């Protein structure tokens, strides 16, 4: 039996229209988009259509660079810190995804001072802490739009304004918000991923504000605007482009649907406590806990639902979630937390069935 899929923050199913858009570039149209002949030019044109489709959801005064993942886009973006001469400080929110957090920490080995900015009990950045840490030494500030574990939405506009006042660049990891919410226009660098928007895995993109210098991360033929070498995959680009286009067309309808699913879920999980802000939240993410529960056991008992445990980080390492810890949760509370992620292709019945199975297993365990 296929489980009910409620793990849409980990990845999303491929939209059928996206599959159709990718197929021709995997079959007859196999040209290298960097070749000058007709097959190459056809593939290059498809890549440019996709670029426009992605750019349509992003601010106007910048360009889109295709990458192999959002993680690569973030690594590329953080290289901008190296171009800021005397500035050698990086500040990122403590609850960032490992793609930002671990990369920022790695910069310590490169002579940078990296600060992890604390959050309040709701998971929202403490702006006064950001203010206190900014100086003429700050090269880059990183803040995510929507948190992948708890769904809280950070005040990107304010963070970017504060970073800019100090002369720093602002990177926004928009992976969990792109295609679902309007993207705030203030950041200088914005990262996104194909497989979180019903597009393919293996492609991401970085939006870069005009005038921002970016050292290459991958050296070679210079195919992608001289910054990111390697042959682009027209199929992956076309898939990401079509996925972005559908998101643009359906953003309101998707949100209305997801809000209805979330409302139903909140009523069915009334005995659970929500982790993270109730107000500043993307509705498609419900991170909840129930005291006394062992979520590892719950997950092995509930085979009919694909969901995520709060106790294991995204890499599946089994390390306690640094996000829930940053909110001030005790280790036992972290071990009793689960994440449910709703998406475009979930139905109310999915939510009801999942709630029934999870609540039944939780009751059995706690009785
Ligand atoms: N940032 C956030 C917030 C994410 O949720 C993810 C994926 O889980 C990433 C970055 C990394 O994306 P990718 O899988 O494209 O490298």
Instruction: Check whether 4 has a pLDDT greater than 50.
Output: yes
What are all long-range contacts of 69-73, with beta carbons under 8 Å and residues at least 24 apart? 69/193, 69/202, 69/203, 69/204, 70/99, 70/173, 70/175, 70/191, 70/192, 70/193, 70/196, 70/204, 71/99, 71/204, 72/204, 72/217, 72/218, 73/191, 73/192, 73/193, 73/204, 73/205, 73/206
3-class secondary-structure state, position 326: helix
- Ligand 1 center from residue 70 Cα (angstroms): 6
For residue 199 and ligand 1, the question of a CB distance below 6 A is answered with no
- Ligand 1 center from residue 71 Cα (angstroms): 6
For residue 69 and ligand 1, the question of a CB distance below 6 A is answered with yes
Q: Which one, of 285, 317, 322, lies nearest residue 176 by Cα?
A: 285
When mean pLDDT is compared across 93-97, 245-249, 315-319, the lowest value belongs to 315-319
Q: If you average pLDDT over every residue of the chain, what do you get?
A: 96
For residue 144 and ligand 1, the question of a CB distance below 6 A is answered with yes
- How far apart, in whole angstroms, are the C-alpha atoms of residue 164 and residue 158? 10
Instruction: Check whether 194 has a pLDDT greater than 60.
Output: yes
Mutate to test the pocket of ligand 1, among 10, 148, 203 (most ligand atoms within 8 A of CB): 148
Domains of the chain: 4-12+251-366 (3.90.1150.10), 16-245 (3.40.640.10)
Ligand 1 atom closest to the Cα of residue 203 is: 15
- What is residue 318's predicted lDDT score, i.e. its pLDDT? 65
Which member of 172, 237, 247, 313 is catalytic?
A: 313
pTM value is 0.97
- Ligand 1 center from residue 133 Cα (angstroms): 26
Confidence of residue 295 (pLDDT cuts 50, 70, 90): very high
For residue 148 and ligand 1, the question of a CB distance below 6 A is answered with yes
- What is residue 175's predicted lDDT score, i.e. its pLDDT? 98
User: Average pLDDT of 67-82?
Assistant: 98
User: Average pLDDT of 230-257?
Assistant: 98
> Which pLDDT tens digit goes with each residue over 216-241?
999 999 999 999 999 999 999 999 99
Instruction: Check whether 90 has a pLDDT greater than 50.
Output: yes
Percent of the chain, pLDDT > 90?
96
Q: Which one, of 135, 121, 132, 143, lies nearest residue 275 by Cα?
A: 121
- Ligand 1 center from residue 327 Cα (angstroms): 20
Residues 6+ positions from 61 with CB-CB distance below 8 Å? 209, 210
> Which pLDDT tens digit goes with each residue over 296-346?
999 999 999 999 986 555 445 667 899 999 999 999 999 999 999 999 999
- What is residue 1's predicted lDDT score, i.e. its pLDDT? 79
- How far apart, in whole angstroms, are the C-alpha atoms of residue 184 and residue 201? 25
- What is residue 228's predicted lDDT score, i.e. its pLDDT? 96
User: Average pLDDT of 158-173?
Assistant: 98
> Which pLDDT tens digit goes with each residue over 15-65?
999 999 999 999 999 999 999 999 999 999 999 999 999 999 999 999 999
- What is residue 202's predicted lDDT score, i.e. its pLDDT? 98
- How far apart, in whole angstroms, are the C-alpha atoms of residue 357 and residue 129? 42
- How far apart, in whole angstroms, are the C-alpha atoms of residue 7 and residue 210? 36
- What is residue 311's predicted lDDT score, i.e. its pLDDT? 53
User: Average pLDDT of 198-218?
Assistant: 97
Annotation marks residue 172 as catalytic:
no
- What is residue 315's predicted lDDT score, i.e. its pLDDT? 44
């Amino acid at each position: 039996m296929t489980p009910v899929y409620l793990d849409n923050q980990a990845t999303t199913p491929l939209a059928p229209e996206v599959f159709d858009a990718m197929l021709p570039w995997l079959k007859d149209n196999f040209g290298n988009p960097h070749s000058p002949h007709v097959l190459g030019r056809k593939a290059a044109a498809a890549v440019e259509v996709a670029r426009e489709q992605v750019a349509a959801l992003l601010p106007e005064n910048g360009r889109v660079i295709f990458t192999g993942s959002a993680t690569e886009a973030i690594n590329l973006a953080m290289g901008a810190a190296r171009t800021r001469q005397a500035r050698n400080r990086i500040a990122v929110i403590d609850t960032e995804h490992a793609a930002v957090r671990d990369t920022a920490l790695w910069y310590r080995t490169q002579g940078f001072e990296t600060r992890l900015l604390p959050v309040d009990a709701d998971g929202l950045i403490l702006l006064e802490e950001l203010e206190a840490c900014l100086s003429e030494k700050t090269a880059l500030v990183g803040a995510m739009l929507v948190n992948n574990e708890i769904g809280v939405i950070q005040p990107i506009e304010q963070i970017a304004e504060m970073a800019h006042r100090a002369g720093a660049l602002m990177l926004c990891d928009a992976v969990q918000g792109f295609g679902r919410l309007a993207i705030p226009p203030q950041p200088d660098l914005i990262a996104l991923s194909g497989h979180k928007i019903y597009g393919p895995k293996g492609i991401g993109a970085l939006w870069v504000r005009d005038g921002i210098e970016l050292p290459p991360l991958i050296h070679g033929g210079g195919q992608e605007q001289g910054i990111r070498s390697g042959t682009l995959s027209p199929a992956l680009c076309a898939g990401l482009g079509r996925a972005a286009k559908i998101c643009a067309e359906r953003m309101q309808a998707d949100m209305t649907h997801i809000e209805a699913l979330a409302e139903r879920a909140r009523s069915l999980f009334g005995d659970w406590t929500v982790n993270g802000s109730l107000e500043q939240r993307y509705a498609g993410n419900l991170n909840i806990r129930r005291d006394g529960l062992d979520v590892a056991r719950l997950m092995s008992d509930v085979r009919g639902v694909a969901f995520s445990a709060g106790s294991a980080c995204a890499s599946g390492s089994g390390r306690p979630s640094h996000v829930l810890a940053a909110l001030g949760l005790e280790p036992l509370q972290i071990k009793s937390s689960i994440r449910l992620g709703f998406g475009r292709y979930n139905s109310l019945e999915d939510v009801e069935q999942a709630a029934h199975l999870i609540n039944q297993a939780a009751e059995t365990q706690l009785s």
